[in-house]
Amino acid sequence: SGKQTLKIFDGNDAVKRNQFRLISVPRIAKNEEVVEAALRAYYINDDQQEYELQTFTQQVLLSDDVINRNDAAEDSNLGSVFRESVPEAWIIRAKPKDGEVIRIYPAWLKVGMAYVSLRVNKDSTTQTVIKEVLPLLGRQTECLQDFKLVEVLMGSKQVQRMVLDNQELILNRLKDIRKTSIRQMNQTRFYIVENSKSIVRVSLFVGGLPPQLSPEEYTNILKDELAIKTNVVAVSHVYQAQGAVVLEISCFSEAERIYMLVKDTTVNDKPLNAVVIPEVMASKIPQNCCPLLVFVNPKSGGLKGRDLLYSFRKLLNPHQVFELTNGGPLPGFHTFSKVPSFRVLVCGGDGTVGWVLGALEEIRHKLVCSEPSVAILPLGTGNDLGRVLRWGAGYSGEDPYSILVSVDEADDVLMDRWTILLDAEESAEGAEDGVAEPEPPKIVQMNNYCGLGIDAELSLDFHHAREEEPGKFNSRFHNKGVYLKVGLQKISHTRNLHRDIKLQVDQHEVELPSIEGLIFINIPSWGSGADLWGSESDNRFEKPRIDDGLLEVVGVTGVVHMGQVQSGFRSGIRIAQGSYFRVTLLKPIPVQVDGEPWIQAPGQIIISAAGPKV
């Protein structure tokens, strides 16, 4: 063969661990070609002229006096790396330098400046670097002793920090890092950090508690269940409606004990959850800065949610990315409660978006920025809201960085939200002795649509199928296949929903045609992108918009009609448009709101506009 395979180590650390990468090069390759291939194997984009290859012998780690092929001046007429007895393993080494340019990152937020570049020479120490950097960052009047230089290694699994000694020679430090690992040098940054007096203060969000209790009652529960020490633990915030508190803890070991204990504690058969809340210094955020609060539902979109969680934690400060399966949206909103201006990115299906908007509505009065704009990265099956707001039909693996750019460039629009009051006159189950206990009224929020009849019945069957075998429902394609199968089973249904319900729109009775499903729509996308209302102009109704304060009411005659709407051949039967609706159910009927289905007992359903638009 004209090719040869070589082992390449990127430094002493790789040699110790015996972790090498293989490259394949022609037998007559020149030095620089082999160096280039070796750097490429480790994804290092630096100039190859700055590196050389050293033959690997056991002495490498003991001494630097190793044969260096690149310096073989008397052999310069031979251009090839390979000789008669070619060693199979090589180490990439950086050539010694008399000076170089390094980047220093400020450890505080400075808009428009990520880092400053500084030339260092063989006499440059940590102290001289700090002295030269402060004027470049506009801090020249401050005392050198108030700052330190921190070396931060951002590896794939952990972040390591080391404060550099004031007299440390910077070039020597760079040489040591490169000797340990060339790749490690690419993952190392230098930060200039203000010295601060460290005060132990851990904020711990504890959720899953019974709602609507007083702060004293919550403290007593925590004393009983977690044996909290009141001399180091105080309840700083109470969210009564959500059954959650924030604890301020002034002792690390006590914070750790409570955090671990919460995970194994249940109150009223409901497990508690704990999230460590980072401290955001709102006063230090520049005026024209609008940070992004990211919520990710790792259960949405197959495994894509989990991957996005990791990606956004790498691209942003990991403290601004929250996992919704751990405590829901409340910990994130609490963390950002003092931030004067922020935006939100929700990664999940329409149900996840509704969950976050509902939490925002409940906590809005406690936020300095009470109306943050919300962007959507659609991970669900239908993603109707994502389609309408032009975020796409579903995430298909785009670069997470480009998504952040899109969020930054997106325009604000307003959207109506609706409150649905469900007041059952008798329980759906029916009680013993024939005496039915009335269910308490239930209030739900709606963003997209509310369906009664066949539409909700298909959702309910799909929901049951997913609960039985959740592992199978990890792709949009499979989910839609199940919807189709469920629909085909209902194809011979009779059309008599209009006999089982009565509809009032803005205080007027509306006569219903012969239908099997009644749907209230807030956005012009239903069932994964179908236009249920249709685009034809109609002088009886206004052109629908998502911020017009009106809902459209549409009927479907059955599964076949729904299929034709999905395919774009037909639209629904336009019934009404209004801002206040009362539906009377004469018998138990399937109902779904934004994809969440259930059987609703006979009684009243009232739909009206909810609070401010989002």
Q: Is 164 a residue whose pLDDT tops 90?
A: yes
pLDDT-based confidence at residue 1 (cuts at 50, 70, 90): low
End-to-end CA distance of the chain: 67
User: What is the number of domains present in the chain?
Assistant: 5
Within a domain: residue 173?
Answer: yes
The CA dihedral of 425, 429, 433, 438, to the nearest 10 degrees, is: -20
Long-range CB pairs of 473-482 (<8 Å, 24+ gap) are 474/302, 474/303, 475/302, 476/301, 476/381, 476/394, 479/381, 480/381, 480/528
Within a domain: residue 530?
Answer: yes
329-379 residue pLDDT tens = 999 999 999 999 999 999 998 888 989 998 998 899 999 999 999 999 998
388-441 residue pLDDT tens = 899 988 888 889 999 999 999 999 999 999 999 998 776 545 444 555 566 678
The domain containing residue 331 runs over which residues? 282-409
pLDDT more than 90, % of the chain: 45
Give the end of a domain, one of 260, 276, 292: 276
Query: Does 481 share its domain with 567?
Result: yes
pLDDT at 68: 41
175-185 residue pLDDT tens = 999 999 999 88
Q: Is 29 a residue whose pLDDT tops 90?
A: no
Within a domain: residue 4?
Answer: yes
Residue 175 to residue 181: CA distance in whole angstroms: 10
Query: Does 26 share its domain with 168?
Result: no
Residue 389 to residue 383: CA distance in whole angstroms: 10
Query: Does 188 share its domain with 210?
Result: no
- Show the 3-state SS of 569-598: CCCCEEEEEECEEEEEECCCEEEEECCEEE
Pairing outcome for strands 273-277 and 202-207? antiparallel
pLDDT-based confidence at residue 489 (cuts at 50, 70, 90): low
Query: Does 458 share its domain with 602?
Result: yes
pLDDT-based confidence at residue 71 (cuts at 50, 70, 90): very low
Can you name the residues that pair with 526 across neighbouring β-strands?
530
Give the end of a domain, one of 142, 161, 194: 194
Helix (H, G, I), strand (E, B) or coil at 530: strand
Query: Does 226 share its domain with 300?
Result: no
Please answer whether residues 69 and 55 qualify as being in contact, where contact means their C-beta atoms are separated by less than 8 angstroms: yes
Residue 20 sits in a domain whose CATH number is 3.10.20.90
Instruction: Using a cut of 0.75, tell me whether the model's pTM lies above it.
Output: no
